[in-house]
A and B are shown apart, each in its own frame.
Chain A
Amino acid sequence: MALLEIEDLHVSFKTVDGVVHAVEGVSLSLDARKTLGVVGESGSGKSVTAQTILGLTRFPNATISGRILFDGHDLLTMSTEHLRDVRGARIAMIFQDPLSSLHPFFKVGHQIVEAIRAHEDVPRDLARKRTIEALSSVGIPSPEERFNSFPHEMSGGMRQRVMIAMALAMRPDILIADEPTTALDVTVQAQVLELIQALRDDFGTAVILITHDLGVVAQMADDVAVMYAGRVLEQTTRETLFTEPEHPYTWGLLQSIPRLDAPRTGRLNPIAGSPPSLINVPRGCTFHPRCPYAPPPAFETEPALTPSQPGHLVRCHLPIEERKRLWQSLQNEHPALR
């Protein structure tokens, strides 16, 4: 059985401009020791999905429905008091901006000690010792001194290590990493990704890795979900996503990035138009205003997320053979996609 199972999750927020449908019917599952990559453009609902797992979107203006099963319990209906035992201890989370995610007025060591003592009744000096161990195992030099640093005294990469150390100190079953390297330089990104891999390999922590960088997904993930306008459009193994993607949006993403691993091309192939409004979501297939293949039914009914083969889910009206043919011809046109 899967470690974490999200079933038909819907999250919407009432705002002055109207109701924002941030997540619309997302189902995902995560197995122990696996990494699930979630990719998608800004505003596609990645963060809202992740935060809802830990009940961090329980705002007065939010409407949430569906089920999130973890360890036999539904996290969506669990009381905040019980959810506290899951937060940090069993499912830990790290965020995109490690500076704003750490409290500016408390020493980083204290912030980790606090996390440990929120779950375990350990004396202060023991928690301190564990914190220093955690800091040192994420490669922070002279951890005893760094224990007393304030976040603003550290570099971006160091702060993200502190966040990972906080997660690591609790040895959670699941680590949710929400764009953990987006704010970091490539060489630092490589360090942080390596740490997350180590966490998974050493402690068997399953990882949900949210990113908009297909390269990061290719390096880290076992399975990948591609999100757009609050929906999963395609979900499959990493292997298949890059060799036989079947959704026009995935093709668009793959074509629009300049690549280092192929000869230079003259012009890129961007996806036309701009991301959809989540208040007035396009009717039918949400991608149809930008889709070069939109056949008539796409304007009326929304396609379901259906398997094209076991373990490969696609939300598109195009017949499977047609999708395979189109991808073939795209590959012939753009050698970089091969």
Chain B
Amino acid sequence: MAVAAERTPGAAVDENLLVVRDLVKYFPIRKGLLQREVARVHAVDGISFDVKRGETFGLVGESGCGKSTTARLITRLLMPTSGSVVYDGQDISTWPERKIRPLRRDVQMIFQDPYASLNPRRSIGTIIGEPLRLLGIGDRNERRTRVREVMERVGLNPEHFNRYPHEFSGGQRQRIGIARAVVLRPKLIVADEPVSALDVSIQAQVLNLLQELRDEMGLTLVFIAHDLSVVRHMCDRIAVMYLGKIVELASGDRLYDHPRHPYTGALLSAVPAPKASAGRGRQRVVLQGDVPSPVAPPPACRFHTRCWKAQPICSEVEPPLESKGPRDLAACHFPLTDGEVDALTERSAE
């Protein structure tokens, strides 16, 4: 599984299914008599990353850091303010809706709230077959057969073809969402918090299903979650976002073993481990305060208002996202040292 991640970076463009460069999305805030734009939400503020064919690329970060906005930009449900999204060699960032439509066959999305994203008045057979119908694939019978096959594959009883979403549990609803996404055999799936609303036992079932489908169909997956252990479990490479920026990007294991950005370190240290010795013998970093508003993000390093390593330069010069070790990128003037990393994680205690 980690094969993709081990490939050398900077290889032929071909290797990348998705190339994102300097992507920006601002949402205007309008006020006053004339509804003038008085401010902007800096939802996504200049992010760049590549997603290789067949790899699972993770996006983590806290609420409001721009994960969903990124997802909607790369699936072109939103138009970027600036920057480019190159899918399979074509820059789709400014394509009009008409031109995008055929692309929908290749690029699908799975959403967090399975219920909210399923039309309650349609039977699940209709819901899952909808993408086929919209693109005019096959006749009625062929579509039916295909939907039944997919239902079977994601662990839904094909006999429930005519039931409605409310008759299913949360986990089953998420299977419906997944079935709808894979029925077209897409190349890229963007999953936005697909298991956040599920209980752990059900969450594990859905994660396994996603992994199986990915391996069977050779899918490329962009996987978004705020749960670090879930992202680590699923992804080959992971980008950590904070206030609309990527602050660190590394292969899965390296990110967890050697976080370089203080924010990543704080995130990892905040996750309590489910074992008896939890929290003992490690130095917890509890970040103070809240994430600042994305309307007026702090200048230079956006994390400096909460960073315990901050120096004067941090609020003056923005640290670029640059290499801090083999294949790791981090945006920090004073990246974590190995000693600090050991103190933050529990490894040293054992």
Contacts and interface: CB of A to CB of B under 8 A. Distances in A.
A264 B252 contact: yes
Interface stretch (A13-21, A67-75, A76-84, A265-273): A265-273
Contacts of A253: 200-201
B199 interface: yes
Interface residues of B, number: 47
B211 interface: yes
A254 B274 contact: yes
Contact of A186 (B62, B199, B208, B256): B62
B204 interface: yes
Given A41-B200, A264-B252, A186 B270 contact: yes
A249 B226 CA distance: 26
A264 B272 contact: no
Given A186-B270, A187-B267, A256-B204, A264 B253 contact: yes
B275 to A, nearest CB: 5
B163 to A, nearest CB: 15
Contacts, number: 133
A258 interface: yes
B348 interface: no
Interface in B179-233: 199-205, 207-208, 211, 226, 228-230, 232-233
Interface in B263-296: 266-268, 270-276, 278-279, 284, 286-291
A201 interface: no
Contacts of B200: 41, 212, 214, 253, 256-257
B273 A261 contact: yes
Contact of B208 (A141, A185, A218, A267): A267
Contact of B274 (A139, A193, A215, A265): A215
A271 B204 CA distance: 8
Contacts of B268: 260
B171 interface: yes
B276 A261 contact: no
Interface string B312-323: 000000000000
A313 to B, nearest CB: 18
A155 B290 contact: yes
Contacts of A41: 199-201
B172 interface: yes
A261 B203 contact: no
Contacts of B77: none
Contacts of B287: 187, 190-191
A275 B199 contact: yes
Interface in A23-63: 41-42
A265 B226 CA distance: 20
Contacts of A190: 270, 284, 286-287
B201 A186 contact: no
Query: Which of B232, B274, B278, B288 has its CB near the most chain A CB atoms (within 10 A)?
Result: B274
B113 interface: no
Nearest to B290: A155
Nearest to A254: B274
A156 B204 contact: no
Query: Which of B204, B275, B276, B291 has its CB near the most chain A CB atoms (within 10 A)?
Result: B275
Contacts of B276: 218, 238-239, 241-243
A215 B278 contact: yes
Contacts of A142: none
A185 B169 contact: no
A260 B202 CA distance: 19
A259 B273 contact: yes
A309 interface: no
A186 B270 CA distance: 6
A267 B215 CA distance: 12
Interface in A128-157: 139, 141, 155-157
B55 to A, nearest CB: 15
B271 A186 contact: yes
Query: Which of A158, A190, A217 has its CB near the most chain B CB atoms (within 10 A)?
Result: A190
Query: Which of A190, A256, A258, A260 has its CB near the most chain B CB atoms (within 10 A)?
Result: A260
A194 interface: yes
A242 B275 contact: yes
Contacts of B271: 186, 215, 260
Nearest to A257: B200
B90 interface: no
Contacts of A258: 204, 207, 229-230, 232-234
A180 to B, nearest CB: 14
Given A155-B290, A187-B287, A254-B274, A268 B204 contact: yes
Contacts of A193: 272
A243 B172 CA distance: 33
A270 B290 contact: no
B15 to A, nearest CB: 23
Contacts of A186: 62, 226, 228, 267, 270-271
Given A41-B199, A190-B284, A275-B169, A259 B274 contact: yes
A261 B290 contact: no
Nearest to B206: A270
Given A189-B270, A190-B284, A242-B276, A260 B208 contact: no
A151 to B, nearest CB: 15
Contacts of B279: 218-219
Contacts of B286: 187, 190-191, 194
21 contacts: A41-B200, A139-B288, A188-B62, A190-B287, A212-B199, A218-B275, A218-B276, A218-B278, A218-B279, A219-B278, A254-B274, A256-B200, A256-B201, A257-B200, A258-B207, A259-B274, A260-B256, A260-B271, A260-B273, A265-B233, A275-B201
Interface of A: 41-42, 139, 141, 155-158, 185-191, 193-194, 212-220, 238-239, 241-243, 252-254, 256-261, 264-272, 274-275
Given A158-B290, A270-B208, A275-B199, 7 more contacts: A186-B62, A187-B62, A188-B290, A190-B284, A213-B274, A239-B276, A267-B208
